């Protein structure tokens, strides 16, 4: 039986000298596709959105109030209009050439992630994300049973790699990325994740695009692989993270 992309990823990544994890929305994609779909087709209700902003509920109930109400065909049509970072295909190709396991970790949905990556010739990449089954039915195949704050527990993916002895590069922009970033050795960050890293006094590489990230990694690959590259991440696990 042929291994799935995720099974193949774990086989290559656990204990590998260097692994790269990247967010999708507004990191690989040039806009937050999940938000675009919800705002266009099923706006977040004000009450749950306010509770989410205050940290009283996690993303799962918010998704059920919004993304679960969209039609798959309409969501796909919006996804087809979204471009990706022009430097990402070269970044992914370089990682493959260098034997560096690369995976997408997202609290969005494979409904649009798989579609966009497939369109760009990147459908082979492993994707940890939530699943849209049908209108009104969502699944959380990579959720954390101890915590429902996120749909996909990015931190669990990073933590498993860290415990295997791998060095981890994490690339992201938003709230759920800060949970995974606490288990990464180096963080490339923009937007909300960069603000959080600054607030916590944790060093990071400013992320302006995958072309720049590729330049940093390529020029310093040996130091990333052996763990001597500076600046190392000092972020501590977020108090919301539970295992």
pLDDT band at 28 (very low <50, low <70, confident <90, very high): very high
Sheet holding 137-139, edge to edge: 137-139, 127-134, 102-109, 18-22, 167-172, 186-189, 205-206
- What are the pLDDT digits (tens) for 150-159? 999 999 999 9
- What are the pLDDT digits (tens) for 104-125? 999 999 999 999 999 999 999 9
Query: Which tokens hold the place of 159?
Result: 């933590």
Do residues 152 and 210 make contact, with C-beta atoms less than 8 angstroms apart? no
Question: What's 44's DSSP letter?
Answer: P
- What are the pLDDT digits (tens) for 183-212? 999 999 999 999 999 999 999 999 999 999
Is the pLDDT reported for residue 243 higher than 80? Answer: no
Q: How large is the average pLDDT for residues 66-95?
A: 97
Is the pLDDT reported for residue 140 higher than 70? Answer: yes
In this structure, of 60-69, 110-119, 126-135, the range with the lowest mean pLDDT score is: 60-69
pLDDT of residue 25: 98
């Amino acid at each position: 039986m042929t291994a799935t992309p995720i099974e193949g990823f774990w086989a290559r990544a656990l204990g590998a000298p260097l692994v790269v994890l990247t967010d999708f929305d507004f990191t690989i994609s040039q806009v937050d596709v999940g938000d675009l779909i919800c705002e266009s087709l099923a706006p977040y209700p004000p009450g749950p959105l306010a509770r989410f902003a205050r940290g009283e509920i996690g993303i799962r109930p918010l998704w059920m109030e919004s993304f679960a109400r969209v039609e798959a065909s309409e969501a796909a049509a919006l996804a087809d209009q979204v471009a990706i970072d022009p430097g990402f295909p070269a970044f992914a190709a370089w990682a493959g050439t260098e034997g560096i396991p690369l995976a997408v970790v997202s609290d969005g949905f494979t409904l649009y992630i798989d579609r966009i990556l497939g369109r760009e010739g990147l459908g082979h990449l492993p994707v940890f994300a939530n699943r849209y089954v049908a209108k009104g039915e969502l699944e959380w195949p990579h959720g954390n049973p101890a915590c429902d704050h996120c749909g996909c527990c990015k931190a669990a993916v990073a933590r498993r790699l860290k415990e295997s002895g791998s060095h981890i590069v994490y690339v992201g922009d938003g709230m759920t990325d800060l949970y995974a970033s606490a288990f990464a050795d180096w963080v490339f960050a923009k937007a909300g994740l960069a603000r959080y890293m600054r607030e916590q006094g944790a060093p990071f590489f400013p992320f302006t695009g995958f072309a720049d990230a590729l330049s940093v990694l390529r020029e310093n690959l040996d130091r990333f692989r052996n763990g001597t590259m500076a600046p190392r991440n000092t972020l501590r696990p977020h108090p919301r993270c539970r295992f």
